[in-house]
């Protein structure tokens, strides 16, 4: 799937999204404006607002309200990234220096707060769905915080189960996909049944997206903008490793978990564990799970009216499974 083709399909709404993001982040403080312009210029694929607008169109909507909700989802996403860069001590993102590395921790946190507040203002200025929209995005913020804390807890204990992993990636990734998609449906005044189908689609899409992302940590030669092995260095036990841990004797699994827990003292173990996971079929296990979630996402779309936007949502699900970036 070519992202530019989706943008072309969304047409005026996609152009309005760009304008809305720029206008919403304008300030009379020059440093803030310059930093925001740089962030918008390095905005990545912007999948969440794209998803939001596609869901609005699929439910018969579009226009100003849909654009506002889509822009809010992108601003919320970037606010969390600005905060994450501080928590993770990240020096680069999408191939560019982070605000944290250029201006320091405080500036990154404050800028994240600014984006978050401006996102809330956008939702409040969308009368057709502001109350439900606020509830949707508030839930996502709660999910994100809980996901971060659970991940932190499990990094210290190295006892992550597959159920823990799925909760973490729902809270940290799929929840925002869900909010963006449901917000688009709300802007179109979609029926409860259509909103539920959109929600199911987006949750499964988000889970698949994060599983694919976690597979990259064990794949050499990818182009995702971060070094391989970083999850292991941060003591994160993700699906490729979990898939193998479930197939080996308990004692061996316990020893491997202990190696992950002590990875900071033995960084040389990162490459050994990555190799072990690849040789034992961890990537194949994760790929099968990924396909299951993509299939569930596509099944949810079957109940929605047939239209061009729905076809793009199908393609977006397939793209999630196949992407290399």
The CATH number corresponding to 8-322 among 1.10.600.10, 1.10.3720.10, 2.60.120.620, 1.20.58.100 equals: 1.10.600.10
**CA atoms of 232 and 196, how far apart (whole Å):** 36
Beta carbons within 8 Å of 145's beta carbon, 6+ residues apart: none
3-state secondary structure of 97: strand
Query: ∠ CA 212-54-75 to the nearest 5 degrees?
Result: 70
Query: ∠ CA 135-138-141 to the nearest 5 degrees?
Result: 155
End-to-end CA distance of the chain: 12
Given this model, what pLDDT does residue 97 score?
A: 86
Given this model, what pLDDT does residue 224 score?
A: 55
Strands (E), the chain: 92-93, 96-97
Given this model, what pLDDT does residue 50 score?
A: 97
**CA atoms of 136 and 155, how far apart (whole Å):** 29
Given this model, what pLDDT does residue 91 score?
A: 81
3-state secondary structure of 92: strand
Q: What is the pLDDT along the chain (325 residues), one digit of tens a residue?
A: 788 999 999 999 999 999 999 999 999 999 999 999 999 988 788 999 999 999 999 999 999 999 999 999 999 999 999 998 888 778 877 778 888 998 899 999 999 999 999 999 999 999 888 889 999 999 999 999 999 999 999 988 999 999 999 999 999 999 999 999 999 999 999 999 999 999 999 999 999 999 999 999 998 765 555 678 889 999 999 999 999 999 999 999 999 999 999 998 998 899 999 999 999 999 999 999 999 999 999 999 999 999 999 999 999 999 988 887 7
| Number of C-beta neighbours around residue 219 at 10 A | 14
Given this model, what pLDDT does residue 320 score?
A: 86
Q: Are 290 and 212 in contact (CB under 8 A)?
A: yes
**CA atoms of 30 and 247, how far apart (whole Å):** 56
How far CA 171 is from CA of 35, 175, 208, 255, in Å, comes to 28, 5, 13, 28
Q: Are 181 and 61 in contact (CB under 8 A)?
A: no
Predicted structure pTM score: 0.94
């Amino acid at each position: 799937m070519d992202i530019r083709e989706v943008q072309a399909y969304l047409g005026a709404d996609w152009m309005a999204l760009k304008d809305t993001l720029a206008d919403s982040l304008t300030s009379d403080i020059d440093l803030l404006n310059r930093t925001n312009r740089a962030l918008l210029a390095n905005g990545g694929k912007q999948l969440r607002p794209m998803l939001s607008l596609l869901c609005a169109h699929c439910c018969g909507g579009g226009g100003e309200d849909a654009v506002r909700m889509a822009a809010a989802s992108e601003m919320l996403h970037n606010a969390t990234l600005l905060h994450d860069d501080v928590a993770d001590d990240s020096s680069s993102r999408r191939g560019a220096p982070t605000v944290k590395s250029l201006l320091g921790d405080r500036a990154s946190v404050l800028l994240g707060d600014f984006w978050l507040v401006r996102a809330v203002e956008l939702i409040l200025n969308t009368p057709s769905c502001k109350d439900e929209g606020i509830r949707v995005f508030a839930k996502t913020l709660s999910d994100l915080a809980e996901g971060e804390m659970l991940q932190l807890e499990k990094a210290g204990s190295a006892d992550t189960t597959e159920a823990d992993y799925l909760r973490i990636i729902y809270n940290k990734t799929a929840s925002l996909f869900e909010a963006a998609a449901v917000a688009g449906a709300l802007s179109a005044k979609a029926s409860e049944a259509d909103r539920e189908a959109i929600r199911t689609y987006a949750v499964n899409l988000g889970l698949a997206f994060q599983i694919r992302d976690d597979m990259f940590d064990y794949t050499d030669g990818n182009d995702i903008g971060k070094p391989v092995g970083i999850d292991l260095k941060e003591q994160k036990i993700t699906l490729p490793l979990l898939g193998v841990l479930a197939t080996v004797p308990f004692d061996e699994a316990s020893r491997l978990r202990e190696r992950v827990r002590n990875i900071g003292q033995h960084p040389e173990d990162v490459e050994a564990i990555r190799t072990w996971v690849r040789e034992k079929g961890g990537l194949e296990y994760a790929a099968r799970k990924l396909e299951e979630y993509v299939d569930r996402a596509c099944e949810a779309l079957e109940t929605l009216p047939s239209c061009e936007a729905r076809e793009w949502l199908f393609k977006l699900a397939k793209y999630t499974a196949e992407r290399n970036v």
